[in-house]
Chain A
Amino acid sequence: MWSNRQAFRNGNRDGIPIALGYFAVAFTLGIAAKSAGFSALQAAIVSLTNLASAGQYAGFTMVRDGAGYATMAVMILVTNARYMLMSSALSQKFDEKTPFFHRLLVGYSVTDEVFGICVSVPGKLNPLYAYGAMLLTVPGWTLGTYLGVVMGNVLPARVVSALSVALYGMFIAIIIPPARKSRVILGLVSVSMVLSAVLTYVRFFDFIPSGVKVILLTVVISTAAALLFPVKEDPYGSVKSGGHDESGATAEGRQE
């Protein structure tokens, strides 16, 4: 595990691209919030307390349509259910000696991106790494939403379009380096993308909400992989990922 200071700094560093991407996405989310009748402050509070793009978007839509409270709760559960899987995976990155309250705080920050970088740190997770990233990502997300409501369509569409790939670029930077080192992960990533494309483009699957598709694919493909290629002891000790290599803190790439 990294020292506290190093972990915090690394978190800062890896949080920058996330915060930039968040800002852009949150900006467009702010526009959706405005059309649902949220004030800039209310929308910013929702962003601060949710940190969830698809979930918030669904929520704003529900409010706009005047849905019931129970419907709202179920919708949020469905669109955010993937975080349950992510939190479960992240629970294995915690050192048993890490004080309990860190789980309550890190849990708050489990977004697709922060989860992605936290789960790919070498060895166990020092919570300060997550906090270092949160320090940038949470304000980026909240401020972006606020400005989206206030400024609406001021940011040129071209810029919003360019910024919207920032998050995906980061996902790719997280999954490709391990895929290069392990054939199993390379195969897994490829199969995941192909099946995801099938579920997106084949009309027959249109009735499934996109959040549910993500969960479905994740559960089915990960189950198959776990049955076909069970991992050996301590799989996390052997994972290196993009952006962390220079730290030299990794146990020499033991790959399965």
Chain B
Amino acid sequence: MREHNIYVYMLIMAGVTYLIRVLPLTLIRGEIKNRFIKSFLYYVPYVTLAVMTFPTITQATGSPISGTVAFIAAILLAWFGAGLFPVSVISCIVVFVIELFILH
């Protein structure tokens, strides 16, 4: 095993990733009745998406300022009813415009 084969690496990456995703989906077939687990799984998406968004969004762009403004703009837009696409595109535009002024 001194020489690692790139295709073996690729197979491991694909296999492990797929199993992680598909096992819960195939093993949990019916509706979960337990109220605690039900509540837990109901809250998971909100928590996990919130955790992944902040503060990462402020570090993802060329400057923390543009990322932070995009973050605030996206929240306001979504709060007042804009859909996925508008929120997403306007956030990008906000970053682009702000960076025109603050980065060279």
Contact = CB atoms under 8 A, between A and B. Distances in A.
A49 B74 contact: no
Given A16-B85, A80-B17, A171-B49, A235 B78 contact: no
A151 interface: no
Interface string B70-84: 110011011101111
Nearest to B38: A231
Interface stretch (A1-9, A139-147, A195-203): A195-203
Taking chain B's interface residues, is the majority helix, strand, or loop, or is none over half, making it mixed? helix
Given A158-B96, A169-B70, A56 B45 contact: no
Interface residues of A, number: 106
A30 interface: no
Contacts of A83: 17, 20-21
Nearest to A194: B54
A255 interface: no
Contact of A177 (B16, B29, B81): B81
B12 to A, nearest CB: 5
Interface of B: 1, 4, 6, 8-10, 12-14, 16-18, 20-26, 28-32, 35-57, 60-62, 66-67, 70-71, 74-75, 77-79, 81-85, 87-96, 99-100, 103
* Closest 9 A/B residue pairs (Cβ): A169-B91, A107-B22, A176-B78, A49-B14, A226-B39, A192-B50, A17-B88, A87-B24, A173-B87
